[in-house]
Amino acid sequence: MSSNHLILDAHELKQHYHVKQGVFKPDAVVKAVDGISFKLEKGKTLAIVGESGCGKSTLGRMLTMIETPTSGRLEHLGEDLLSLSKSAQATLRQKIQIIFQNPYGSLNPRKKIGSILEEPLVINRQLSKAERKAKALSIMAKVGLKAEHYDRYPHMFSGGQRQRIAIARGLMLDPSIIVADEPVSALDVSVQAQVLNLMMDLQTELGLSYVFISHDLSVVEHIADNVMVMYLGKVVEQGSKEELFNNPKHPYTLALLSSTPQLSPDKRRQRIKLQGELPSPLNPPSGCAFHGRCQHANERCQQEVPALREDQTDHLIACHAVEEQRIEFSHAV
Ligand code: SF4
């Protein structure tokens, strides 16, 4: 990967929280994100996948600097965001915007759309009222909203339109990166496709890079260039979309994929039922955190944390069974 194309470079990012457990017990440490590294190229989409509670939203909040990581390095165009002054961070933060799952919850119901969109400009730009309105109208047009929507309130819109408004607000400061946290999960399937198509059109038009957080692999298959699968704060598999979908190897990825509906019969997979629940991050299992739910687990898995290692070029997997070639793959199913 040419460094010219690299827009975000995360190295060993960690977010550890100290949790009080009562007067007589020492604090517990929750490792919500535990040493995650990735590279995001300009104009590309990295999808972060996993069950709720795996740390993907915490990672999203760190990338947008809503939360400061406990440790690690996060470079934007070669500049380490975490060692910048507060004011330099604030300026750079404008370049990395976030869109949330629930567009209604994130839009002030008492404000008209025009005012919601112009708010970031009031705070961060010195523009006249007329210039702000012109910018809002131009972004509204880009996301498929009409000029007459400018004076309406959020409750007057459908879920899909509200997500368009949230996307428009994310674009007001001309960001280069959008972190989209489950942006279509609250929408009907037919509307999901429209919003995803809009996001892909905007990516082409504006050269945006996306970090797309989702629990839904069928959505990810639509939009991602690269995929990172997370389990209890760690990456278990990472690679190009083609590798992840055509040649998945980690037992957790295989289970997630097998529960994703496939229309095409040649892509249907043998159903692997995920046993049990995601363990509590307060009390994570020893060794491989997935061992209690994995049909390939053995003694080594219970004791030794598997390292994330390259299986093939740019395809990383953290699994003892894959390393020991104990799993038979039949990806032609
Ligand atoms: Fe399963 Fe062991 Fe691989 Fe973990 S390391 S996914 S428990 S086989």
The string of pLDDT tens digits covering residues 282-316 is: 888 999 999 999 999 999 999 999 999 998 888 99
Residue-wise burial string across 172-205, b where 16 or more C-beta atoms lie within 10 A, e elsewhere: bbebbbbbbbbbbebbeeebbebbbebbeebbee
Q: Which of 272, 296, 323 to mutate to test the pocket of ligand 1 (most atoms within 8 A of CB)?
A: 296
Question: From the CB of 59, is ligand 1 less than 6 Å away?
Answer: no
Give distance in angstroms: CA of 294 to centre of ligand 1. Answer: 6
Question: From the CB of 10, is ligand 1 less than 6 Å away?
Answer: no
Q: Which amino acid is at 228?
A: M
Give distance in angstroms: CA of 235 to centre of ligand 1. Answer: 13
- The answer, yes or no, to whether residue 1 has pLDDT greater than 80, is no
Each residue's pLDDT tens digit, 165-207: 999 999 999 999 999 999 898 888 889 999 999 999 999 999 9
Each residue's pLDDT tens digit, 61-78: 999 988 999 999 999 998
Confidence (pTM): 0.92
CA 305 to centroid of chain Cα atoms: 24
Residue 30 contacts residue 17 (beta carbons within 8 Å): yes
Structure tokens at 108: 């002030």
Residue 265 contacts residue 221 (beta carbons within 8 Å): no
Ligand 1 nearest atom to the CA of residue 320, by list position: 5
Q: Which of 249, 250, 300, 301 to mutate to test the pocket of ligand 1 (most atoms within 8 A of CB)?
A: 301
**What's residue 157's pLDDT?**
93
Residue 48 class from Cβ within 10 Å (0-12 exposed, 13-18 middle, 19+ buried)? buried
Q: Are strands 96-99 and 209-214 parallel, antiparallel or unpaired?
A: unpaired
User: What residue has token string 């100290």?
Assistant: 18
Residue 323 class from Cβ within 10 Å (0-12 exposed, 13-18 middle, 19+ buried)? middle
CATH number of 3-95+175-332: 3.40.50.300
Among 103-112, 192-201, 247-256, the least confident range? 103-112
